[in-house]
Structure 1
Amino acid sequence: MAWSALLAAAVWALGVVEHADAADANERVLTDAEYARVAEAKAVYIDLTFSTWHPRGRTLSQIGPALKIKLSNAGFTVVPKESDPHDLTLKVRYREERGQQYKFDTYGTEITCDIKLEHVSAGLLLDLTIRETSGAYDSGTPPYLEVLERFDTNPYFYFLGEIVSARTRSRSDVTQALIQSLQRMLQAETPKTEQLQDAHGFLPGESLYPTLVRENTIRELGRLRDDRAAPVLIALLGHTSRQTRLDSIEALRPLRNSAEVRSALERMATGDRDPEIRKAAASALGASTPASPMN
């Protein structure tokens, strides 16, 4: 079956109902009365504070404009002033702190972003902290640019508009919001480029971001070990991107006791023509030696 057909099946299979090493989220279950009030909220005020260790407060972060775009594209009206009528407040505390020293005058940067979503009467709806840090200095990318890219492609920030929408309009939890966002992202990809129209607040030229977000989201769903992610991860085993297939196999490893997951991994371990894919699938199943591909 084509991977697009598998994805469609995964969408139907999913129901509606503290996250990554790079993010922690806390959320509470709303009562019916609270949800009735929250579901009507359309206007949101962004209360953003920003600090950086870089000299003279210089930064390349675009978090302010990005937040507005994410919320607007999720169907919210962002009001410019706290005195303007609104039911929701998104409190964002963004900090850039000096990180690891790489050489005499070169340091990494650590980003911490605390995000709280509050309703005027229902109170706190979401409490999310995202953390990212510069990687190895020999990666080829300047440490500051690298950590900004990591932050921008962190699924909890990239899909923030969808997460806020899920918490206020569908009673979905954050994990389910990630699953549904990944499904929509894949459905929006064009067959030739595997890219999509960017509606998440990034600058022109950042065309690789959706690919990175897809991979980061798959890895995060694997870390979360949530059975609800199995259908979309199985669908992704047929994706055109080799890295996506490898990431999906690894993400399914903790779920291999499911008959559906095990069957999908067995098909990859015996039927894929790529030896690395077969090896990864066999490893995920707990087998030591992958079988040769079937003709």
Structure 2
Amino acid sequence: MSQTALIPSHRKPRQSASKTALRAGVAGGVLSTIAVAGAAGPAQAEPVTQTIEMPTITAGLSTTVAASAEATQQVALDLETQANEDAAAATAAKAAKKAKAEAVRKAEAKKKAEAAAKAKAEAKAEAAERASRSAERTTLSAPSGSSSSGSSVSTASAPASSSAPASSSASGSAASVVSFVQMQVGDAYVSGGTGPNSWDCSGLVQAAFRTVGVDLPRVSQSQSTAGTQVGLGNLQPGDILYWGGAGSAYHVGVYVGGGQFVGAQNSSTGVVQKSLDYDPPSGAVRVL
């Protein structure tokens, strides 16, 4: 007998073939069952139905709808306000345009009326000039109305005989004004002229009074109300004569005494010294 015969073996005892076959058969059956179940599972699965309950949002939705409606109403009001403002602006612009056109029309009408009045005055002066051609030859240094004959004697003799003492009777500022205008006799008439060699009627009068420190308005209308109104029967040398209404005069001149005046008449005659009978003035004002 061997010495190791009594020592138990450490090997696992070998299983019998029948047990191994049994276990294999059981395992194969389980796997077959699982395979069959897996194949049939999807076809036999029932659909899952689930009901989801939504939360109630009625309160929040009402607030949102109300806010949206208010915003829409505000937009509508803003649009209406803007439309009203645009309409008002258009109306105002239309009214302003109409007023401007009316003002332009009135200004043009006034300008035409003034031009017509001036043309009428010039035409009147020219007509008188032609009608009294012989009497116009009277000069400052030759007041000899007695040498004339016929009707010219009757119209110019009285002023001529008194013209020298009339000029000498002026004194102070009045004498300076008279002397200035008489020195301009023979100068040209130019509309808007203010000297020194061409004048219009109001430009000559303004320049004459400026020599004595009196600043008169520029135009005839204003000069006809620049002083105290005096009667034509109470004239003194240096008085301003005007033709037309006080405040609406279309011509002015300076009374130099002796029934005569000096004025820038028109483009045909220039600055002349004439008898009051040549073109009787409408009134007079006294500044000095």
TM-score (norm 1): 0.22
Larger relative contact order (Cα-Cα within 8 Å, sequence gap ≥ 6) = 1
User: Whose helix fraction is larger, Structure 1's or Structure 2's?
Assistant: 2
Which protein has the larger Cα radius of gyration, Structure 1 or Structure 2?
2
User: Whose strand fraction is larger, Structure 1's or Structure 2's?
Assistant: 1
